[in-house]
């Protein structure tokens, strides 16, 4: 695997880990075990150990259940801001481990930064979805997220550049949608909080 290809895969892995670390590890491990992707490079091959897959799947199940509870979902993902980016940087380094040291350092720096960005986009989406006081919306979002990450991680090993470009486009679209929704919320709240016109206030005579 050439250095550029390794770096692209490292960034794709860190992108996914920034969204959901546990799903990323479990899917990668299972994908190698089932032959959906070739042998994982460098130290990343450690995720294909069965005990690592079971651990990651268990943590993902806890994550899935926690994010079904409105209010808890936002808090859970906020706390994971301190876990996902560093772990994603570690996975990026593991992906290129054993190659050019400069590429390894670049993978860690870029991977951590990209994971921080994807985690931030997820937080914005989670806060928006969590405004709905029922678990159904969060559950659908979790399943959609798992499907997207699985497709990304598998395609990353077959068409790395295309997969990463598509993922970045999705990231931009999600960020724009979340921004538009929050602007709509702010306008709605501002209109509700605004005082009524003077002619509608109690006790104010009309001219």
Q: What are the pLDDT digits (tens) for 62-96?
A: 999 998 887 788 889 899 999 999 999 999 999 99
Only one residue has tokens 């979340």, namely 178
Q: What is the pLDDT of residue 128?
A: 82
> Contact 20/63 with Cβ under 8 angstroms?
yes
* DSSP annotation of 34: T
- Whether 160 maps to a domain, the answer reads yes
- Give the residue numbers spanning the domain of 150: 3-190
* DSSP annotation of 195: P
Q: Residue 39 CB: number of other CB atoms within 10 A?
A: 9
- Whether 200 maps to a domain, the answer reads no
Q: Residue 104 CB: number of other CB atoms within 10 A?
A: 22
pTM of the model: 0.85
Distance CA 166, CA 52 (A): 29
Q: What is the pLDDT of residue 207?
A: 47
Low-confidence winner among 11-20, 39-48, 157-166, 174-183 (lowest mean pLDDT): 174-183
Distance CA 88, CA 204 (A): 61
Give the residue, 181 or 26, on which the prediction is more confident.
26
- Whether 39 maps to a domain, the answer reads yes
Distance CA 190, CA 98 (A): 55
Average pLDDT along the chain: 86
- Whether 92 maps to a domain, the answer reads yes
- Whether 8 maps to a domain, the answer reads yes
Number of domains present in the structure of the chain: 1
**Tokens for 119?**
């985690």
- Whether 206 maps to a domain, the answer reads no
- Whether 203 maps to a domain, the answer reads no
- Whether 196 maps to a domain, the answer reads no
């Amino acid at each position: 695997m050439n250095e550029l290809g390794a770096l692209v895969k490292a960034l794709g892995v860190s992108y996914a880990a920034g969204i959901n670390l546990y799903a990323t590890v479990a899917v990668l491990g299972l994908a190698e075990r089932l032959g959906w992707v070739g042998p994982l490079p460098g130290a990343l091959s450690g995720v294909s150990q069965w005990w690592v897959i079971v651990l990651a799947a268990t943590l993902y199940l806890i994550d899935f259940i926690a994010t079904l509870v409105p209010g808890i979902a936002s808090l859970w993902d906020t706390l994971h801001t301190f876990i996902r980016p560093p772990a994603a940087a570690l996975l990026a380094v593991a992906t290129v481990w054993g190659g050019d040291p400069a590429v390894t350092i670049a993978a860690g720096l870029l991977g951590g930064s990209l994971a921080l960005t994807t985690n931030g986009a997820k937080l914005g989406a989670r806060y928006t979805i969590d405004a709905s006081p029922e678990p159904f919306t969060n559950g659908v979002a979790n399943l959609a997220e798992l499907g997207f990450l699985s497709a990304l991680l598998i395609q990353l090993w077959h068409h790395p550049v295309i997969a990463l470009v598509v993922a970045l486009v999705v990231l931009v679209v999600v960020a724009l949608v979340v921004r538009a929704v929050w602007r709509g919320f702010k306008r709605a709240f501002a209109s509700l909080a605004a005082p009524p016109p003077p002619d509608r206030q109690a006790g104010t005579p009309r001219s």
